[in-house]
Structure 1
Amino acid sequence: MDVIIVSKTHMSNASCVGGVLANGRFVRLLDSNGFNQASDTQLEVGDVYTITFSERNDTRPPHVEDILLNSMEHKFSFSSIEKMVQYLTEKLKVNIWRGSTEVLFDGKLQWTSGGSGYISESGEIPDNSVGFWVPDKDLTRKDYNEKVRYSYPIKWRNISFVGFQRPVDKIPTGTLVRVSLARWWSPNEDEERCYLQLSGWYGLPEPEETNDNPIDDLPF
């Protein structure tokens, strides 16, 4: 089956690579042993591969997208990100959340006092851990503790950016973005949570290169 690579995000010592299968299913591409891709993986957004895979048997919701790659062969790469988005939306008709942060993950997110979105076992668990979103307000870059975050202007919402793209100062209203939930994590021996993160955006021009180091080692 063919898969379109739609995201690549930083993890502590690896890359989390997301895709959409030819049947429209969201997947996360693990190696045959169940590990994430290497930090220097050659997989890039817009690539299309023909793959064989098996299901991961020990998934923990909401991370139900994991598949184990048995083989993969590069088929082609979309000539532009815009053409990839057109294919995803018009041919595969992928689901897209549209509106405020309240629509993300079917409204099941909780929010910290600092504006971070998360789910926990004490709350509702969504059906999946990734998705596309078209926000109804600009998302503005507001770094915190040397990490890149994007702020939604209502109800104090902040989303950490974990993608490989060079950060932009503003993601305009109506831009297609990809969001995900990090793996289960308990930072202070409290309840385990999955935090909302921004994987990337589509169709914006690349900003000029700076000396910023937007991503430090992440705990997830």
Structure 2
Amino acid sequence: MDVIIVSKTHMSSAACVGGVLANGRFVRLLDSDGYNQDSDTDLEVGDVYTITFSERTEKTPPHVEDILVHTMEHKFTFSSIEKMVEYLTDKLKVKIWRGSTEVLFDGNLEWTSGGSGYISESGEIPKNSVGFWIPDRDLNRKDYNEKVRYSYPIRWRNISYVGYQNPVDNIPAGTLVRVSLARWWSPNEDEERCYLQLSGWYGLPEPDTENNDEDDDLPF
């Protein structure tokens, strides 16, 4: 079956790679042994691969997307991210949340006093751990403790960014983004939680990068 690579996020020393199958199903591409992809994986957003896979036998909701990939053959790469988004929305009819942060993950998110969204083992568990979202307000970059975060301007909402794209200062309202829930963990020995993350965005220009020292050698 074919799969479209739609996200690549940092996960300690590995890369969590998300995709959408030809039938519209969200998947997370693990290797045949059940591990995440290497941090320097060649898989890129917009790539399309033909894969063979099996289901991961042990899945803990909401992380139901895990598949074990046995073979991969590159088929093609979309000519632009816009073309990929058009295919996902017009052909595959993928579900997209639209509106405020309150619509995410079936409305089951809880929020810390610092604005971090999460689901807890004592609360309602959503049906999946990934999704597309079109926010109704700008998301503005506000780093905290040297970590990139994006702030939704109502009710003090902050979302940690874990993607591979170079961070932008502003994600305008109406931009398609991908969000996910991190794996279960227990902060400060409290109940286990899955925290909300921003995986990436689609259709925004890459931010300008600073000139490197090699430019000093150019004759102009």
- The normalised TM-score by structure 2 is 0.95
Write the distance in 2 (CA, Å) between the matches of 1:36 and 1:55.
14
Once the two structures are TM-superposed, the CA of residue 85 in structure 1 deviates from its matched residue by 0.1
Once the two structures are TM-superposed, the CA of residue 210 in structure 1 deviates from its matched residue by 4.3
Other-structure match for 1:179: 179
**Pair member with larger Rg:** 2
Other-structure match for 1:67: 67
Other-structure match for 2:39: 39
Runs of 5+ consecutive residues of structure 2 not aligned to the other structure? 212-220
Other-structure match for 2:202: 202
Other-structure match for 1:100: 100
The reply to whether residue 14 of structure 1 matches residue 17 of structure 2 is no
Amino acid at match of 1:6: V
Write the distance in 2 (CA, Å) between the matches of 1:194 and 1:121.
9
Other-structure match for 2:77: 77
Write the distance in 1 (CA, Å) between the matches of 2:33 and 2:76.
26
Write the distance in 1 (CA, Å) between the matches of 2:202 and 2:173.
12
Once the two structures are TM-superposed, the CA of residue 187 in structure 1 deviates from its matched residue by 2.3
Other-structure match for 1:124: 124
Task: State, as a whole percentage, how many aligned pairs show the same letter.
Answer: 85
Write the distance in 1 (CA, Å) between the matches of 2:57 and 2:133.
28
Amino acid at match of 1:149: R
Other-structure match for 2:144: 144
SS at match of 2:187: coil
Once the two structures are TM-superposed, the CA of residue 189 in structure 1 deviates from its matched residue by 1.2
SS at match of 1:188: helix
Write the distance in 2 (CA, Å) between the matches of 1:202 and 1:151.
18
Once the two structures are TM-superposed, the CA of residue 188 in structure 1 deviates from its matched residue by 1.2
- The normalised TM-score by structure 1 is 0.95
Runs of 4+ in structure 1 deviating by more than 6 angstroms, as ranges, are none
Write the distance in 2 (CA, Å) between the matches of 1:123 and 1:148.
27
Alpha-carbon RMSD = 0.8
Q: String of CA shifts for 1:55-98, please: whole Å, max 9, x gaps.
A: 00100000000000010100000000000000000000000000
SS at match of 2:20: strand
Write the distance in 1 (CA, Å) between the matches of 2:153 and 2:187.
27
